[in-house]
Amino acid sequence: MIAREMFEEFKARFGPLIDRADLPSDRRLYVFVDRSAVKYVCQHIFRELDARYVITIGADDRPFSGKFLVAHNFAFDKDHLLCSVLTQLPADDPKIDSITEMVPAASWAEREMRDLVGIEPVGHRYLKRLVLPDGWPENNHPLRKDVPWNAVPVEFDPDREFSFDEPPEGCTVVPFGPFHPTLDEPAHFRLYVEGEMVRGCEYRGFMVHRGIEKLAESVMSYNDIPMLAERICGICGCVHNVAYVQAVEEAAALKPPPRAEYIRTIMLELERLHSHLLWTGLACHILGFDTLFMQSFRIREPIMWIAEKISGNRKTYALCVIGGVRWNITPEVKTELRQTLDKLETEWRAVVSAVSKDRNIQKRTWGVGVADKDLVKEAGLIGPVARAAGVDIDCRRDHPYAAYDRVEFDVITEQGGDVWSRLLVRMKEVFESIRIIRQCLDKMEVGPLQLQISDELPIGRMGLSSVEAPRGESHHFVITGENNRPRRWRVRAPTYQNLQAVPRMIKDQQIADMTISLGSIDPCFSCTDRLETIDLRSGVTRVWSQEELLKLTRAKKV
């Protein structure tokens, strides 16, 4: 019993500072710790036990317990264990010691917790605003339960500009974004450049934070949220769809039918296929090799067609409900899928062979955007970025879900830690996805697609779900609640962690390599909800607010 043994180890080490634990299974541990001991327990887990940091969650639990809640989540990958270190904070004193000195990967999560919930991470060395808009008033925290989901503070100043740090001496500021030809979504890297070399940068993102978690806990039901979760990411929608329902199913002790688990696995791997093919094409496009870009997209298209045959849509599948799936895979589709995979495998081998031997691509990617094993550990990097540095992690194997415990596959790793190694990892993972889908088609059992759930879901239960997206681990944390919706739902997408390492990856390299270094983590930002216009006649630039855009789009004449 790994979870029980871990809890006993904590009690032996920290004694009465460990309050209690919930052990819903041997792969989950929720340990409640005295506020004074949280940072030492996290240090012990991260440094001495060598666990991987996942995410930090803040929650306003005052309507239920009269307190705030903080959870630091860690993964013991070799032991197949997810561990959550929790503590409660007084309603009149929502402060907790920061863990970032011992766990640097927690920096953004603690800043977000302060912005959205108002829990102060005492001792954090860089508490600059992270998520909230520039003009949002201080001491107004939208994820608190007493703040309506659609409230706009009267003090909100839409014209206030973000205050960037001063550049290092001797450096020129070069803005990369927020709108850039190689980025489909807004993100602002303020690069500090000396000659042609990048010496540092500051990142300003979250310009289009959509408040999805607040919306879910305020006005949606358990089975409405999967549709919302699917729209967190334009590429990894099925990942979030599955991760959310699995978190709720774990909290409610529900296990979907075997056939549903196989279908979830197939659709997740179809999503991985089209994502890796898309990324390889775009990477070649960034490097100037548009022939390979077009070949990748041509090979990808039949995967989109087969996804549409299964779900009715090329990309947003609307696959999951709590306790199962909506769509079946018929014998006819199964036959066509096998044929599609056979053709894809043959054509993709030719692409891999061409890319692997191309000296021009190698020269543009070798030694570029390096993230080594130390940075993977310190920043909590995941997915192909970690595996390209020789770190052998993959949620499908380490924390199996759906039908991954019933199939065989290899976890692909490389050793260079650079853009070239990330390219190789993704190209080789395509063959593993094909292998997984074939096994699922062979082993998939006849049976129901959904559980029949007649009772209301239990209240106040916690669930964790980690799903391996093409970009890396997506992690969902759920506390079940009243009114047929969760009390708290926290989503950690893979880009959230990987993006924090970009300043280290681009430091002391040429500015020309910035685009492919950033592209190599396969970043995913949100779609924009405001825009800037330039009058071509007068040259006047104007930024439109959300309110102005709504009035403009609803006017009879535009």
Residue 180: what pLDDT?
A: 63
Dist. CA 457–CA 82, nearest whole Å:
23
Dist. CA 284–CA 358, nearest whole Å:
11
Q: Say yes or no: 487 and 548 in one domain.
A: no
Place of tokens 């009035």: 551
Q: How many domains does the chain have?
A: 3
Q: How many CB atoms lie within 10 A of CB 452?
A: 7
Asked if 257 and 450 count as a contact pair (C-beta separation under 8 A), the reply is yes
Q: Say yes or no: 401 and 439 in one domain.
A: yes
Helix (H) or strand (E) holding 173: strand 172-176
Asked if 68 and 95 count as a contact pair (C-beta separation under 8 A), the reply is no
What single-letter amino acid sits at 228?
L
Tokens of 161: 């500009």
CATH number, domain with residue 21: 3.30.460.80
Closest among 292, 206, 284, 253 to 461, alpha carbons compared: 253
Long-range contacts of 170-173 (CB under 8 A, 24+ apart): 170/194, 171/199, 171/200
Range from 124-128, 141-145, 207-211, 276-280 carrying the lowest mean pLDDT: 207-211
Produce one character per residue of 26-39: b if its CB has 16 or more CB atoms within 10 Å, e if not.
ebbbbbbbebebbb
Q: Assess whether pLDDT exceeds 80 at residue 546.
A: no
Query: DSSP strand E in 177-272: where?
Result: 188-194, 197-204
Burial degree of 214 (CB within 10 A; 0-12, 13-18, 19+) = buried
Q: Is the peptide bond before 178 cis (omega within 30 degrees of 0)?
A: yes
Bridge partner residues of 173 (DSSP): 192
In a domain, 169, yes or no: no
Q: Say yes or no: 417 and 486 in one domain.
A: yes
Task: Give the model's confidence band at 178: pLDDT under 50 very low, under 70 low, under 90 confident, else very high.
Answer: confident
Q: Say yes or no: 389 and 305 in one domain.
A: yes
Q: Say yes or no: 223 and 354 in one domain.
A: yes
Q: What are phi and psi of 121, to 5 degrees?
A: -85, 95
Q: How many CB atoms lie within 10 A of CB 151?
A: 12
Dist. CA 21–CA 334, nearest whole Å:
45
Q: Say yes or no: 299 and 325 in one domain.
A: yes
Looking at every residue in the chain, the average pLDDT score rounds to: 92
Q: Where are the alpha helices (DSSP H) in 380-451?
A: 383-387, 395-398, 419-443
Distance, C-alpha 320 to centroid of its chain: 19
In a domain, 526, yes or no: no
Tokens of 79: 């032991």
In a domain, 488, yes or no: yes
Residue 533: what pLDDT?
A: 40
Residue 376: what pLDDT?
A: 98
CATH number, domain with residue 421: 1.10.645.10
Rounded to two decimals, the pTM is 0.92
Q: CB-based contacts of 529: which residues, under 8 Å, 6+ apart?
A: 208, 210, 546, 549
Cα-based distances in Å from 99 to 20, 43, 109, 280, 395: 21, 8, 11, 37, 24
Q: Say yes or no: 373 and 231 in one domain.
A: yes
Query: DSSP strand E in 18-65: where?
Result: 18-25, 28-33, 52-61
Q: Assess whether pLDDT exceeds 60 at residue 464.
A: yes
Range of the domain at 538: 531-558
Place of tokens 């993959």: 394
Range from 142-156, 296-310, 486-500 carrying the lowest mean pLDDT: 142-156
In a domain, 142, yes or no: no
Tokens of 532: 């800037």
Helix (H) or strand (E) holding 306: helix 290-311
What does the chain come to in residues? Answer: 558
In a domain, 186, yes or no: no
For 294-311, the pLDDT digits (tens) are 999 999 999 999 999 999
For 46-84, the pLDDT digits (tens) are 999 999 999 999 999 999 999 999 999 999 999 999 999
Residue 527: what pLDDT?
A: 36
Q: Say yes or no: 113 and 249 in one domain.
A: no
